[in-house]
Amino acid sequence: MTSKSYKHVFGPVPSRRLGMSLGVDLLVPKTCSLDCVYCESGKTTALTIERKEYIPADNIIAELDDHLRFKPQLDHVTFSGWGEPVLSPALPKVVSYLKNRYPFYKIALLTNGTLFFLEQARKDVLDVDLIIASLDAVSQEVFKRLNRPHPSLDPDRIIQGLVDLRKEFNHELWLEIFIVPGVNDTDKELRLLSKSVKHIGADKIQINSLDRPGTESWVKKPEKSDLERIQSYFDCHSYIGTETNRGVGASHQSVPDESLIFNLIKRRPCTLADLMKSTGLSKENLEESLERLVSDHKIYSEVMERGLFYKSI
């Protein structure tokens, strides 16, 4: 099996929650209804709630066919990447194609949940197997500071959209709360979040925090000593903290494909270990390619708690 670099399909990447996950990006960088301070894809350059086919569904399907004809072992095909996937009406078209042509793959959607107040947006996601939606703030002030939303968005309307989605969507719905110390970790905001989360009735709640370099350098991880207090506001949550140990297994390519490596780093910062798991390449091969990408000024490195991360320029 060979691994190619595509424009809209990336990975597979080892995900903390989804195992080996093949990413599908329906957008151009970086199109989102929010501009979160912790975003690992960088600053939002097109802050919008306009739903349109940013990339034609056929282009995405062609890349998926090219990759999936090898029937790779995957835990999920996941819609994520540069921004908010629900902005694109290509989503239901690609989901329907995958369900018909490759029914053995589970489909996941990572979404910021901001567009489910629209009936059509809820209809468009009904066939995916797992939705992981974010909800980081309930009060206007915290929402604005943390998620820097499109001006038309309002937290009450977003929460009602998630409540409606829960009623209409028959598969797994998880909620993710990203904690940014000093912003949404006050007792007041956590109480509001806890109330809203109960109202929505998701199958699982996950508390997340900074794992890779975020958009704003002041965003930090919560102190370990504070995690118990934060978690006590929510029932049976899992705190996301460790990467999956699974990788692609035996190396499926011995010659490094620099565009594939760059494509992964462009979407989110990666450590050498992340890249070894995703590509199956040896440490030595990867180090050589990374050095070249650094000297070509395409990427740079930054030390974080989890190690040395490579980030695109």
Q: Which residues here bind ligand SF4, judged by CB under 6 A?
A: 32, 34-36, 39, 41, 44, 83-84, 112
Complex with ligand SF4: residue 35 or 211, whichever CB lies closer: 35
* 100 CB-near residues (< 8 Å, 6+ apart): none
Minimum distance from residue 91 beta carbon to ligand SF4 (Å): 15
Complex with ligand SF4: residue 149 or 222, whichever CB lies closer: 149
- Nearest-angstrom CA–CA distance, 179 and 12: 27
Say which residue the tokens 């979404």 belong to. Answer: 111
Sign of dihedral through CA atoms 144, 305, 211, 283?
Answer: positive
Complex with ligand SF4: residue 269 or 280, whichever CB lies closer: 269
Complex with ligand SF4: residue 43 or 306, whichever CB lies closer: 43
Complex with ligand SF4: residue 221 or 252, whichever CB lies closer: 221
Complex with ligand SF4: residue 32 or 190, whichever CB lies closer: 32
Complex with ligand SF4: residue 37 or 248, whichever CB lies closer: 37
Minimum distance from residue 88 beta carbon to ligand SF4 (Å): 13
Minimum distance from residue 210 beta carbon to ligand SF4 (Å): 11
Minimum distance from residue 47 beta carbon to ligand SF4 (Å): 9
Strands 238-239, 204-208: pairing is parallel
Minimum distance from residue 136 beta carbon to ligand SF4 (Å): 9
Say which residue the tokens 């110390």 belong to. Answer: 181
Minimum distance from residue 38 beta carbon to ligand SF4 (Å): 7
Minimum distance from residue 45 beta carbon to ligand SF4 (Å): 11
